[in-house]
């Protein structure tokens, strides 16, 4: 929790603490209902002090989405680098994504919320960019798996990528609906096993 954070922090640290506060609040309530007053209260600051670091609420949301993109993709890249084969890397990415969301349940609430906006805001563009960059990594692994003979050569890369991402999102959504973030961790191995069975090369 953030209540014990000192008031006088360097600008970069203050922005990082603001992002942390928003992610915590998003895990507790509808992200669209989070106000700058609530963020400032969580940080034990005035709204004026908060706006010294962010010119607008949209700027706060953009910083949050940038944090999510940076940290999720860094974990994904680390998971890929640690595995010797594309199929093992796909499984590692799947489990890494689930673990990231289970550790930060406010993140999917914010991501889904941004994508639902009718206007083309900077945070919404950042959310789309994140999904696109994530999909590129998954597609590259699927293509490598087909090239190396681990995956069926005839599978549709785009469809398989969509199914991979959709399976993660489905687990996350069901977990949020059940109000049990650990549910996704419990169900993830079985879900990936079914996905793997559909794309793995028959030997």
Tell me which DSSP letter residue 56 carries: S
Say whether pLDDT at 20 is over 50.
Answer: yes
Percent above pLDDT 70 for the chain: 94
Whole-prediction pTM: 0.86
Q: How confident is the model at residue 127 (pLDDT cuts 50, 70, 90)?
A: confident
- 3-state DSSP: the chain helix, strand, coil percent, rounded to 5? 75, 0, 25
Q: For the purposes of burial, counting CB atoms within 10 Å of the CB of 55, is it exposed (0-12), middle (13-18) or buried (19 or more)?
A: exposed
- Check residue 3 and give its pLDDT: 46
* 47-61, 113-127, 143-157: least confident range: 113-127
Domain boundaries, the chain: 1-54, 57-199
- Architecture per CATH, domain 57-199, reads as Orthogonal Bundle (1.10)
Calculate the average pLDDT of the chain.
89
Q: How confident is the model at residue 7 (pLDDT cuts 50, 70, 90)?
A: low
Question: Buried (b) or exposed (e) across 4-30, using 16+ Cβ within 10 A?
Answer: ebeeeeeeeebbebbbbbbbbbbbeee
**1-54 maps to which CATH number?**
1.10.10
């Amino acid at each position: 929790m953030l209540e014990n954070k000192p008031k006088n922090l360097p600008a970069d640290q203050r922005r990082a603490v603001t992002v942390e506060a928003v992610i915590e609040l998003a895990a507790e309530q509808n992200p669209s209902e989070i106000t700058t007053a609530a963020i400032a209260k969580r940080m034990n600051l005035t709204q004026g002090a908060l706006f010294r670091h962010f010119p607008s609420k949209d700027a706060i949301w953009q910083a949050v989405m940038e944090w999510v993109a940076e940290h999720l993709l860094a974990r994904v890249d680390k998971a890929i680098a640690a595995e010797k084969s594309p199929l093992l890397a796909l499984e590692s990415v799947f489990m890494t994504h689930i673990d990231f969301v289970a550790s930060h349940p406010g993140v999917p609430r914010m991501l889904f919320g941004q994508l639902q906006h009718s206007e083309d805001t900077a945070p919404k563009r950042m959310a789309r960019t994140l999904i696109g960059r994530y999909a590129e990594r998954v597609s590259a692994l699927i293509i490598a798996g087909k090239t190396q003979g681990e995956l069926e050569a005839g599978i549709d890369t785009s469809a398989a990528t969509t199914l991979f991402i959709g399976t993660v999102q489905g687990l996350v959504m069901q977990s949020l609906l059940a109000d049990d973030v650990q549910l996704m961790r419990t169900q993830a191995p079985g879900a990936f096993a079914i996905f793997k069975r559909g794309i793995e090369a028959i030997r």
